[in-house]
Every structure is written in structure tokens, then in C-alpha cells.
Amino acid sequence: MRIKLIFKTPIRGIESVYLVCLIMILSVIYKEWIKLRIPLGILLILSVIPSVCLCLQLRYDFSQMGAVRAWSFWMYNSELFYTKFAYVPPFLGLILGLLQYYPETEDGRLRLLLHLPINEIKGLLAHQFIGITLLISVCSIPWLLMAFTAQVYFPEEYLSGFALTSYPWIYAAIFVYLFTEITLLEPKIIYKVCFIALGLGLVSQLFDTHFYNTYQRLIPVLTPLLVAGFFMPLLILNRYKSL
């Protein structure tokens, strides 16, 4: 209804092109929101449940072993209550990637995107923007819950360690999401296999957390790679388009 109203307003010249482009991008985002909101709610519940369990486990451990032992185990044995959460974000990334892009590849529905009155690059980036934003939102709620619980029981150092220890898992979630998208969009099976191998090779390196803060020095390497990764699916879009 709102879109129709905007079209009816008298707009002229270059501004109208930008406006149509903006409307189309917002429409894509809206379409993706409509498509994903119910599964997203389920995923949110699925991600919050393990984090609530881990927080309750932490409370139980503190009552059983006492704060001194819990602190010592954390500092010297690197026993971190949240490490079991590590595989939840990539799992969410995988599910979200499948939910978002599998329907697009069925019966070549992605071709619709290529025929919208906007640049297909912007269209795909809009898809990714909404996907990654939703993924980060879904991951951040249980993450914040655990951070809040950690703050109650542990000193301030724990929180910085929590952020530096768990950031690779969020990065892994985004990489899993992007490689799921790339694999689904790639037209040839042989290259699908190559991308799965490449994605697994990269993501598996992000879960070797046997001590806290071990990935601290990889931030300057992983962050540019993550930014570059955001544009990687465009290569596959071009291949899809060239078929």
C-alpha cells in the first residue's frame, strides 16, 4: 500500500531512479523478513535454550564448588562455561542460509531478482544484509544473556575474555551463512563441492578454543577476510546470470 503511494507521487529526473532503487531494496528486505520471521523466532528459541541451560549450570557449579574454585578453574584450567555454545552460531548460520537461499534456487526463482528494476548486485547484497543482520541479532541475544550472567559471577576480566574468546564463533556463523549461500547459488555440482571444502577448511579453524583469548591476534586477519567474504557471493551471482 505504502509502495503504491510512493509511486503515485510525482517524481522526476535522477531522484526517481534512486527512489525506485531504494524502494526495491526495501521491498527485497521486506520480502526476506516476511519469509524468515517465523523460522527466525523458532531459531531464536533454539539458540536461547542452550544459553539458559549453560547459565543455570554456571549457577549450580558456583553453589556446589564455590566462587574460589570456579575462578581458579577459569584462570588456570581455562574451564569456560560457555564453550558448549560454540557450535550454536554456525548452526544458526547454516539454517538461516538454507532457509533464505534454498527457495531462491528452486525452479530458478533467483532469475526474478535478475529482472527487477535494480542492479542485481544491490539486490543480492540486500538479501545478504538482511540475512546477516538477522543472524547477528539471533546470535547476540543468547550471547548477551551469557555475558550478563558471567558479569554477575566473575570479575571484569572475564567479560573481555568472553568477548575475545567467543568472537570467532560469530565470525564462523557469518562464514557458514556466506558459504551456504555460495554453495546453493553455484550452478555446477563440482564447484559446490569445492566451496563446501573451502568453507569447512576455513570454519574448522575457528573452533580450536582450548584456552581463552587464543584468537585475539587473529582479529586483524579475520576481519578483512569477513568483509571480503561479504562480496564473495557476487562472483557466483555473475556465474548464475551468465548461464
Q: Is 71 in the site for another protein (CB under 8 A)?
A: yes
For 190-227, the DSSP string reads HHHHHHHHHHHHHHHTT---SSTTTTGGGHHHHHHHHH
For 1-47, the DSSP string reads -HHHHHHHS---HHHHHHHHHHHHHHHHHHHHHHHHHHHHHHHHHHH
Q: Is 143 in the site for another protein (CB under 8 A)?
A: no
Binding segment for another protein (CB under 8 A), chosen from 51-59, 66-74, 79-87, 135-143, is 66-74
Gap between the Cα atoms of 64 and 60, Å rounded: 6
Q: Is 75 in the site for another protein (CB under 8 A)?
A: yes
- Select from 84, 133, 221, 223 the one that contacts another protein (CB under 8 A): 221
Q: How many Cα neighbours within 13 Å face the side chain of 89?
A: 27
Identity of the residue, 105 or 140, whose beta carbon is nearer to another protein in the bound complex = 105
- Select from 63, 72, 119, 133 the one that contacts another protein (CB under 8 A): 72
Identity of the residue, 36 or 226, whose beta carbon is nearer to another protein in the bound complex = 226
- CB of 242 vs another protein, minimal distance in Å: 4
- Select from 29, 35, 213, 226 the one that contacts another protein (CB under 8 A): 213
- CB of 37 vs another protein, minimal distance in Å: 31
Please, which of residues 150-179 interact with another protein by CB under 8 A?
152-155, 157, 161
Identity of the residue, 64 or 242, whose beta carbon is nearer to another protein in the bound complex = 242
Tell me if 54 sits within 8 A of 148, measured CB to CB: no
How many chain residues are in contact with another protein, going by CB under 8 A? 46
Q: How far is CA 123 from CA 21, 26, 44, 118, 192, in A?
A: 9, 10, 26, 7, 22
Number of H helices, E strands in the chain: 10, 0
Q: Is 64 in the site for another protein (CB under 8 A)?
A: no
Cell of 184: 546453493
178 φ, ψ (degrees, to nearest 5)? -65, -40
Coil, helix or strand at residue 116 = coil
Identity of the residue, 70 or 173, whose beta carbon is nearer to another protein in the bound complex = 70
**Interface contacts to another protein, rule CB under 8 A:** 66-72, 75-76, 121, 152-155, 157, 161, 186-188, 191, 194, 197-198, 201-202, 205, 208, 211-218, 221, 225, 228, 231-232, 234-235, 238-239, 242-243
